[in-house]
Amino acid sequence: MTYSQNWNVTDKVDYEGLKELLTSLVVDITDNAFAIKKSSDDGGSLVEVWIEGGLQGTPNPRLPPQCKGWRVVWVSCPQGYIKAFNLRK
């Protein structure tokens, strides 16, 4: 359940816009391969940011205000995982 004081659905950026925002953010924090994909679970839609080797001790970066309304999950995976499982499709 969402609360109007937390965010307004009309202000929510679409997935493609969020992907562009996150791509520019991730490029600045890692040199490793990464993939951004839309997913869902029991709580609804979310966006997963897969980074080979993870953030290596760096805390999860603060998300820009435009990400309001999206759940973003940071996922660490081993080298070669993104290509092997075709996460960029």
78 in any annotated domain: yes
The residue segments making up the domain with residue 41 are: 9-55+63-84
> pTM of the predicted model, to two decimals?
0.85
24 in any annotated domain: yes
89 in any annotated domain: no
* Res 88 pLDDT > 70: yes
1 in any annotated domain: no
Structure token pair of residue 69: 């309304």
2 in any annotated domain: no
Burial category of 6 from C-beta neighbours within 10 Å (exposed 0-12, middle 13-18, buried 19 and up): exposed
Contact 34, 54 (CB under 8 A): no
20 in any annotated domain: yes
**What is the percentage of the chain residues whose pLDDT exceeds 70?**
89
- Between CA 6 and CA 78, with CA 64 as vertex, the angle to 5 degrees is 110
- The single-letter DSSP state of residue 83 is H
4 in any annotated domain: no
Residue 33: name the closest of 17, 53, 19 by CA.
53
Residue 4 pLDDT grade (very low, low, confident, very high; cuts 50, 70, 90): low
What's the total number of domains in the chain? 1
17 in any annotated domain: yes
9 phi, psi to nearest 5 deg: -55, -30
Who has greater pLDDT, 37 or 12? 37
Who has greater pLDDT, 39 or 89? 39
Contact 39, 65 (CB under 8 A): no
Instruction: Find the range with the poorest average confidence among 12-21, 38-47, 60-69, 80-89.
Output: 60-69
pLDDT of amino acid 8: 63
